[in-house]
Amino acid sequence: MSSNHESSLTPSIFDMDYFSWNVRYKVIAAGFLFYSAVFLLCHVVSACFGQTYRSLSAKRKVFWDLAATRAVFGIHSAIAGWLVKNCLLEGQPVANDPHVPLSHGAHLPHVVGKLVSLG
């Protein structure tokens, strides 16, 4: 069996139909599960290592965990934006034209593919 892209049994992220509702629901669920895990991980780490965190009320602990989750989301978004601008649109006129919206030059499968290939 060759390791060719066409012979793969699992569908590639480039071959998925991102306009179908089934794929959209899976992407939404994956994002929800990822950021829920970040929230829970923040709670566990803060509870184990933070004396300040343990002294907070339950409401303040939730705000603390949400702030950390928002920080992870911001870093994730900044990296994705940098990848789109610098890696996916290299040499394309869209990357240098401030009047053309970025969504005209990049599509979700290409962004996700670039993220996966860097990992």
> What's the pLDDT score for residue 3?
47
Residue with tokens 């989750």: 69
User: Which residue from 61, 54, 59, 109 is spatially nearest to 84, judged by alpha carbons?
Assistant: 109
Residue with tokens 């566990």: 44
| Dmax (CA) of the chain | 58
> What's the pLDDT score for residue 84?
75
Inform me whether the pLDDT recorded for 52 exceeds 60: yes
Q: How many CA atoms lie within 13 A of 22 on its CB side?
A: 2
Neighbours of 15 (CB within 10 A): 11
> What's the pLDDT score for residue 89?
66
What digits encode the pLDDT tens for the residues 72-100? 999 998 888 887 777 766 655 544 555 44
What digits encode the pLDDT tens for the residues 30-45? 999 999 999 999 999 9
